[in-house]
Structure 1
Amino acid sequence: MTTTQQHLPEVSLVDVASYLPGEPVGTEYFTQFSRSDRMAKNVMFRSPKGRHHVARDETAVDMVERAVAPLIERNGADAIAEVDVLITHTQLPDNPVLGCGPEVARRLGIRPSYVYDVHNGGCAAFVHMMAMARMILQTTPARTALIAATQNCAGPVFTQTDIRKLAQAPVPGDGCGVGLLRKDDSAPILDIECRTYPEFAGDMDFSTNGERKYWEPGEGQGCVSFTESKITKVFARGNRLVPEVALAVCDRIGVRGRDVDTFVTNQPNRLFLRNWHDALELPPHRHPDTFDSCGNLFAAGIPVTLDVENRAGRLPNGSLVLMSAFAHAGDFAGAAAVRWGAAR
């Protein structure tokens, strides 16, 4: 904890919950459409065994509402009714003009004083939102925050008729993870590190594979585009950035990487996962993930995995949980350490 943090009130991550839409979708859905593509052999695109896809008419607000339901069951309706801060991240906004925060508040029947929809955190958005929520709770009269990370582009984007043939199509999955934060010391956030890397901004493209802008009518299906040279660069950055911010947090709280009880990251592919726990000198069982059953969940990967581990009884209260992730092509990374206190 920094000197400045010592003079601010403690903020805790008191609970997490998640929602996975629909029935699992097997990889055979994609293999029937796949074409011969040398990029399919790239370690970045080796597919999981399963994933979930959001239904066509299921909105980000629907997903958040369903993810919050277990929080209400465990903590009571008052815990949500008292939310002062609501922060949401949606991978694929249903309305490109509006964020989903106010509609989430309406669905949940709450009137938070602070409502923010954030986008730049990408796969590290859960940590990013934790940092924002903690700052607000520490510096205002607000006492409770709800953060929600929604990944909802796997079904809509990666099952398009042209896109589902690509090597990367089977990797993403849809899901939503939420966290409840409170101004108390029951499950304290020990430290958070967020870093922006402007030099990597713009290295990830969303393209229709032509001249058409995504909002213009015409041919071409929108998707994140990859070239092999960019894949190599992103892989190198990801290998470095996630351990870098994670170990920065460890250093400030006075522990070594191998002292962490549970390490939870975003989950782009199996090789990143292996390299990251190796960098922290952790055995694989202390770096859980949901990649094989859920695929790359983008920003929802951290809270969904935390929820799965917590419900399975593998996160005892008092254990040291470290989260870390990088976003997009490496333009953002974040890490947070928590003294776990959500076990039931």
Structure 2
Amino acid sequence: MTPKQTPFPSRSRVLGTGSYAPKRVLTNGDLERMVATSDEWIVTRTGIRERRVAAEGEDTSDMAVVAARKALDMAGVAPQDLDMIVVGTISADMPLPSCAAIVQAKLGASKAFAFDVAAACAGSLYALSIADRFIATGGAKRALVIGAELLTRLVDWSDRNTCVLFGDAAGAMVLGPSEDSSRGLLSAHLHTDGTAADILSIPGGGSRTPQSTQVLERKLHKVHMDGREVYKFAVRVLPLAIQEALDANGLAVADIDHVVSHQANLRIVESVLERLHVPIEKCWVNLDRYGNTSSASLPISLDEANRAGRLKEGDVIAMMAIGAGMAWGGALMRW
């Protein structure tokens, strides 16, 4: 007698969301006293008014755990019931082991396998896609996806072009199988162009240029960015990624109810939405309060929109993110 086979779910859905930002607020006015900049210059070019800075002794994993616990509480899932943990980050507590392994231990999620994804600001979207595939193929039933970054320790505070941008935070999502085949993550479409790797990088500290006195003196262990090229790249590829997701699901731009985006720069978000002919009112914008939180940006935005009651059952959510690599992607989710 052949045992009855349980079919795999067609997709995953979000069961709970959570986010965390440190208490310390660093305003544009504070930065005026640190580097040659001004509130007007920062707001005009980025849309950022303030950002959060982790406390001394506060690690990336600490922020990730707070966001994770909030998501688990909303989902009604205990840490020991998790099958996998995926953390999108490029600012882990240490180079080895992964931030996810430390998060697993702090949560007490002893059954879960855990690993990091290094796709910079696109990290949480990459992690979401990976977790979705595990759930959709039966490899996991409960997955925790986290985006967490502590970038204020990786920026050069004398470089006004980069230090004004970044903030520390974490966001989390708990995923499970979707019992309704029409709801959940409809599809995710990921891309990379390594030929553009030099426009946003931390060039020192790796195997190419190991940590040394020279690396420290030249600040090669800090974020280096060609902002103009990043902007041009982002506004070119992100509309295509969203359109790719729409086409894959037989949907049109008019079907989008909400946009949940990585927020690196308000000008990028506005330009992408303008090219797609999507009103900015459909996008949850919090860049002014947090700055660029890299991989944490997308799940924080989802959590805030969710807790504000903005997301209704059946709504179509378009997601987009882009980060160093260059790595980017678009996704559609039916709430």
TM-score grouping bracket, smaller chain normalisation: 0.7 to 0.9
Match of 1:96 in 2: 95
Structure 2 portions without partners, runs of 5+? 1-6
The 1:46/1:75 distance shift into structure 2, 3 A limit, reads closer
Report the TM-score when normalising by structure 2.
0.87
Match of 1:333 in 2: 328
Measured in 2, the distance between the counterparts of 1:42 and 1:24 equals 16
1:141 positional shift = 4.0
Match for 1:166 among 160, 179, 182?
Answer: 160
1:260 and 2:272 aligned: no
> Is the contact made by 1:207 and 1:214 (CA closer than 8 Å) also made in structure 2?
no
Measured in 2, the distance between the counterparts of 1:73 and 1:301 equals 20
> Is the contact made by 1:196 and 1:333 (CA closer than 8 Å) also made in structure 2?
yes
1:84 positional shift = 0.6
> Is the contact made by 1:131 and 1:192 (CA closer than 8 Å) also made in structure 2?
yes
SS state of the match for residue 82, structure 2?
coil
1:76 positional shift = 2.9
The 1:232/1:44 distance shift into structure 2, 3 A limit, reads farther
The 1:29/1:141 distance shift into structure 2, 3 A limit, reads same
Match of 2:224 in 1: 225
SS state of the match for residue 199, structure 2?
coil
Q: Deviations over 1:237-276 (max 9, x none)?
A: 1001111111100111111123200011111112101111
Q: How many residue pairs are counted as aligned between the two chains?
A: 320
Match of 2:3 in 1: none
The 1:282/1:12 distance shift into structure 2, 3 A limit, reads same
Measured in 1, the distance between the counterparts of 2:142 and 2:68 equals 14
Report the TM-score when normalising by structure 1.
0.85
Measured in 1, the distance between the counterparts of 2:303 and 2:168 equals 15
Moved over 6 A (4+): none
SS state of the match for residue 201, structure 1?
helix
1:49 and 2:46 aligned: no
**Counterpart amino acid of residue 50 in structure 2:** G
The share of aligned pairs that are identical, in percent, is 22
Superposed, which structure 2 residues align to 1:78-97 within 5 Å? 78=78, 80-97=79-96
Measured in 2, the distance between the counterparts of 1:292 and 1:235 equals 18
1:126 and 2:127 aligned: no
> Is the contact made by 2:8 and 2:136 (CA closer than 8 Å) also made in structure 1?
no
Match of 1:179 in 2: 173
Measured in 1, the distance between the counterparts of 2:189 and 2:41 equals 34
> Is the contact made by 2:319 and 2:331 (CA closer than 8 Å) also made in structure 1?
yes
Match of 2:147 in 1: 149
Measured in 2, the distance between the counterparts of 1:15 and 1:279 equals 31
Q: CA RMSD in A?
A: 2.5
> Is the contact made by 1:194 and 1:334 (CA closer than 8 Å) also made in structure 2?
yes
SS state of the match for residue 146, structure 1?
strand
1:8 positional shift = 5.8
1:333 positional shift = 1.0
> Is the contact made by 2:88 and 2:147 (CA closer than 8 Å) also made in structure 1?
yes
Measured in 1, the distance between the counterparts of 2:37 and 2:321 equals 32
1:220 positional shift = 4.2
Structure 1 portions without partners, runs of 5+? 1-5
Match of 2:272 in 1: 276
Match of 1:18 in 2: 19
> Is the contact made by 1:190 and 1:337 (CA closer than 8 Å) also made in structure 2?
yes
Match for 1:249 among 245, 267, 274?
Answer: 245
> Is the contact made by 2:143 and 2:176 (CA closer than 8 Å) also made in structure 1?
yes
